[in-house]
A and B are shown apart, each in its own frame.
Chain A
Amino acid sequence: MMFSAAALAVLAALGLTVVRALQGPTVFDRVLAGNYVGVGAILLLALVGFITDRPEFLDIGILYGLLNIISTLAVLKYWRYGDLSHGGDEEPPST
């Protein structure tokens, strides 16, 4: 019961976050909203694991937490350099 209520609150918050991700004026707003959706997905996975009494969902939550930071940094680096394998010590020739 209480886990379901918390899951509903997290779902409502994720709805607001998706609004920001869709209308965000810059790409950084979208990346920030994506990061927030990732944290919300971790919480939702843990809550679903408690609702259905299957604690294996927590392992998926750990995996999502590790993927979240990687994806955020990858998107930011790709946006800045246009190349994921860029060394980052000099400016790219395009800018």
Chain B
Amino acid sequence: MIDAAVTGLSWILLAAGAFYFFVGALGLVRMPDVFTRMHAGSVGDTAGAGLMLAGMMVVAGFSLVSVKLIVILVIILFTSPIATHALAQAALHAGVEPLLAGKGSRGSAGSKPPASKKPASKSRRRAPSRKAKEATR
């Protein structure tokens, strides 16, 4: 009875985690832009990895294996946003424009900076189109 419940729960968690991880990879291929690809990839990093590791924890029970799985989960949950943030900042610095920048009413802060804005951020945002072309290798 307990065995069947554990097996069923871990089936559900592993299947859901594999689904989310696969969907994240699919979004990584299908999305049109670097930033939207980051958005799709974070789904696989958090939901996919978290659910799969939770499914393995259900099988392992209270043991050292569960502790190691929790350590892996904590490492992934801490480092994945750091990597995504550094990647987004590096892409913006290199001059990769977001696909929807300046479209619509809310996203206009990037395309039309107010006059009081610092010139450093303006030049940082606008200048390196040469480097963006250079990054396309």
Question: Size class of A's contact patch?
Answer: 35 or more
* SS class, residues of chain B in contact with chain A: helix
Question: Size class of B's contact patch?
Answer: 35 or more
* Cβ-defined contact, A28 with B135, below 8 A: yes
Report chain B residues within 8 Å CB of A2: 7, 10-11, 14-15
* Cβ-defined contact, A65 with B79, below 8 A: yes
In the assembly, what is the distance between CA of A44 and CA of B133, in Å? 36
Considering the complex, which residues of chain A in the window 51-95 have a beta carbon less than 8 Å from any beta carbon of chain B? 55, 58-59, 61-62, 65-66, 68-69, 72-73, 76, 79-80, 95
Report the nearest B residue to A45, measured CB to CB: B72
Considering the complex, which residues of chain A in the window 15-30 have a beta carbon less than 8 Å from any beta carbon of chain B? 16-17, 19-20, 25-29
Additional 7 contacts, C-beta under 8 A, given A9-B18, A20-B29, A43-B48:
A13-B22, A16-B26, A36-B28, A39-B76, A43-B52, A46-B69, A55-B60
Could you name 14 residue pairs across A and B whose Cβ atoms are closer than 8 Å?
A: A13-B22, A16-B25, A19-B29, A25-B136, A26-B136, A28-B87, A32-B38, A32-B41, A35-B41, A43-B49, A46-B56, A61-B68, A62-B75, A79-B135
Give me the interface of B with A, judged by CB distance under 8 Å.
7, 10-11, 14-15, 17-19, 21-22, 24-26, 28-29, 34, 37-38, 41, 44-45, 48-49, 52-53, 55-56, 59-60, 64-65, 68-69, 71-72, 75-76, 79-80, 82-83, 86-87, 90-91, 93-94, 96, 128, 131-132, 135-137
